[in-house]
Amino acid sequence: MFLLGLTGSIGMGKSTAASMFADLGCAVWDADAAVHRLYAVGGGAVSQMKDAFPDAIVDDAVSRPALKEIISLNPAALKQIERIVHPLVAQDRAEFISQATTDIVVFDIPLLFETGGNIAMDATACVFVNDDVQEARVMERGTMTYDQFMSIRAKQIPAAEKCKLADYVIPTDTLEEAAREVHNIVMKIRSQLSHA
C-alpha cells in the first residue's frame, strides 16, 4: 500500500484533485471531513471539547463559529484545541488505513507540510495555480472576506515553497491539465508498486 499526501493552499484545487484520485481507484482520506465527523453529534471530540470549552458546544455538537470566536478572544485556546483534536484525527486516519483495500491511499491534508504530516507519507503531491487565480477562486466562493483569505494564506507555507517540498506538482489551471497530471502520478506509483 502506497501512502500519498495531497496538499495545496486554499483555492488551489485540492478537493478537485482528490476526487480525480478517487476516480482512478485510490482510497481518499480527507482531514477536514475527519474533523467534521469528530465535531458532529456523537463525534469523538465533543465530550473533551465540552470539558475544555463549554461555550463551543451547540446542540450537542462542536460549533466551528463558536470555536473561531473563542480563538479570536483567546489565541492561546488554539493550542489547547489542537491538543484535543490532533490525536483524534490521527486515530481516524490510522483506522482508515487499516480498512483500506486499495493499492494507493491519498491523504487530503491542507496543512501537510506545516504539521509535519509529510513524514508519514511515501510521497507528496501539491496542487498549484498562481496567486491571482487562487485569489479569484476563493473570492468567487463568497464564503469569506478578502482579509480572512489573506489571514489564512499568511498561516500557510507559500505555495511555491510547498511545490519545492513536494514529490509531485499538479497544476490545476484547467481540469484537463489536472486530470492528466493525476493520471500520470497514479500510473507512476502503480508502476513502482508492480516492480517492488
**pLDDT (0 to 100) of residue 10:** 87
Q: Are residues 93 and 117 in the same domain?
A: no
Q: Are residues 22 and 36 in the same domain?
A: no
**pLDDT (0 to 100) of residue 45:** 95
- Tell me: the pLDDT tens digits for 48-67? 999 999 999 999 999 999 99
Rounded average pLDDT over 84-89: 93
Question: Of 53, 72, 101, which residue sits at a domain end?
Answer: 101
Percent of the chain clearing pLDDT 90 (strictly above): 77
Question: Of 101, 124, 139, which residue sits at a domain end?
Answer: 101
User: DSSP string covering 87-131, please?
Assistant: HHHHHHHHHHHHH--SSEEEEE-TTTTTTTGGGG-SEEEEEE--H
Residue 12 contacts residue 134 (beta carbons within 8 Å): yes
Read off the pTM. Answer: 0.88
**pLDDT (0 to 100) of residue 151:** 85
Place of cell 485510490: 26
Q: Name, in order, each residue with C-beta under 8 angstroms of 165's C-beta and a sequence gap of 6 or more.
A: 113, 118, 124, 126, 157
Question: Of 43, 67, 101, which residue sits at a domain end?
Answer: 101
**pLDDT (0 to 100) of residue 27:** 97
Helix locations, the chain, DSSP H: 14-23, 31-39, 46-52, 64-73, 77-99, 131-141, 146-155, 159-165, 175-195
At residue 41 the predicted structure's pLDDT band, cuts being 50, 70 and 90, is: very high
Q: Are residues 76 and 154 in the same domain?
A: no
- Tell me: the pLDDT tens digits for 120-142? 999 999 999 998 999 999 999 98
